[in-house]
Structure 1
Amino acid sequence: MTNGSADPLRRWLPRPLPETPSRIFCLPYSGAGASMFSRWPDVAGDTGLCPVQLPGRENRLREPHFGTYEQLAKDVVEALLPVMDRPFGLFGHCSSALIAFEIAAVLHREGLPMPRRLFCSSQVAPHEGPYGSYLTMTDEQLRAELVALTDSELDDTLLDLVTEVLRADVEANKAYHPAEPVLLDTSITAIGWSADQEVAPERMSGWDQYSKKVHRVVLPGVHHTFLEAPAALLTQFTDGMASDD
């Protein structure tokens, strides 16, 4: 493996970079960082799973927030383009599916290498948003959500910091609304979850307008089941990266 320790790559890819035939760059959702994928394996079949660290959180806490999804996507492309040197995919769940899409859109506009596949989990199509329960929550409600998600493992000072990050992420989500679909030259796997109370699988049909090759699947589980790296999800990764249909 290559550890990618030289700046600026190490800031974006905190895990050693797998020297696998293909890679999936995995983006954390609102309020979270790369540690969100701590229960995921480093590889799935012949595909390396590469969590991406965003500015303003965890080991990048002292850096300014990324601002907008559009700016973040440009920054990700600039940083990761050197390691997009083999077949790669992009994975995002909930809000980070929009970030994954915007990264693909930047690559498309700039005529750069496109992902073999975009894996979008539990998110409506970009032009149908913004969408999600967090978007209308107060800071107090967001804080309560974080307490519930972390089982109160955060002290008050850290909880304040994470709530601030989550609020900035939510504002970026609220500001992101592409006017119309963009047809990408890549395959898309739109992943719904059978018992998802946040985004029902049928709400994801809008992704059909973003590629001529869209594969919609419904996996067993709830909104956060993906964090456990279920076998059904890993199979989608290995099968999806082995095919461009």
Structure 2
Amino acid sequence: MTDFKPNARRAATGHGVWLQRTPSPTAARRVFCVPHAGFGAGVFGNWPEQRHGIEFLPVELPGRLSRFADPMPTTFGELARDMIAGLERYLDVPFAFFGHCWSALLAYEVTAQLQERGGPTATRLYVSSQQAPQDGPAGRMLGMDDTQLAMELESTIRAQGNKPYPELVSIYLDMLRADVEISRRYVVPEPPRVSCPITAIGWTDDCEVPPDQMGGWPVCGDTAFKLFAGPHDRFIDAPPELVKTLCVGMYDRG
């Protein structure tokens, strides 16, 4: 991939690192849910653990929550490689990746790298509120300084019903800045096409990434578009129509 750099670090593995709970050995399918910029696996706290035999597994990325001490790679290529190493033991049933905004690009990169490796490949890729790789890097946070990013974090924390304590904002600011810089480096003018279907999900009231900016995803693979009511971060609430779409897609390769 265009931004890949060799990395001698050994990727950490195990459900206690990349996953917050042990995957069920009886799950028929798995959807790995990747948190968006500046946040950890807890953002999927409202999501079901299983639905219709499909297990939803939030992924914990480096530098977050239980992984504060783990260094964050500097490119999506490195991060995707480490994530594959950490999750590969759980790719023994049909699986997919769900990414929202920033993490949609990581979900795509992981899916593409798995295909390049020639091992197990994803059943489907779900991308929400994000432009296709060849149309970026894009996003208003790319032009924000730390003060503006901190204000953004405070607003998001309040919207989730929590108090933006300065210590908490400071921790998340470092994480968000690192994520923004990874996005800035992700330049993919000719993205490889993935063999699995892509479901591109837009939101009617999304002021961050309006749905009409997501039209480039067919370059990356066969793409179906879904539009749901709500603002940019409505995915946090696990809307029934979103969960249903993910479940249906896991049993339909068309």
TM-score (norm 1): 0.94
Kept in 2, the 8 Å contact 1:56–1:66? The answer is: no
State the one-letter code of the partner of 2:244.
T
- Equivalent residues in 2 for 1:52-67, closer than 5 Å: 52-67=59-74
1:215 corresponds to which residue? 224
Aligned residue pairs, count: 239
State the shift of 1:7 in Å: 5.3
2:241 corresponds to which residue? 232
Aligned with 2:200 (options 165, 168, 190)? 190
- The whole-number CA distance in structure 2 between the counterparts of 1:172 and 1:181 is 17
State the shift of 1:68 in Å: 1.2
State the one-letter code of the partner of 1:225.
R
Aligned with 2:180 (options 163, 170, 174)? 170
- The whole-number CA distance in structure 2 between the counterparts of 1:79 and 1:63 is 13
- The whole-number CA distance in structure 1 between the counterparts of 2:83 and 2:53 is 23
Kept in 2, the 8 Å contact 1:195–1:222? The answer is: yes
State the one-letter code of the partner of 2:170.
D
State the shift of 1:181 in Å: 2.5
State the one-letter code of the partner of 1:21.
A
State the one-letter code of the partner of 2:136.
G
- The whole-number CA distance in structure 1 between the counterparts of 2:239 and 2:15 is 28
Aligned with 2:157 (options 127, 142, 150)? 150
Aligned with 2:110 (options 97, 103, 113)? 103
- The whole-number CA distance in structure 2 between the counterparts of 1:49 and 1:63 is 24
State the one-letter code of the partner of 2:187.
H
State the shift of 1:8 in Å: 2.9
Give the root-mean-square deviation of aligned CA atoms.
Answer: 1.3
The alpha-carbon distance between structure 1 residues 7 and 97, as it changes in their structure 2 partners (threshold 3 A), is: closer
State the one-letter code of the partner of 2:184.
K
TM-score (norm 2): 0.91
State the one-letter code of the partner of 1:195.
D
Q: Which ranges of structure 2 fall in alignment gaps of 5 or more residues? A: 1-11
2:20 corresponds to which residue? 14
Do residues 126 (structure 1) and 136 (structure 2) align?
Answer: no
2:3 corresponds to which residue? none
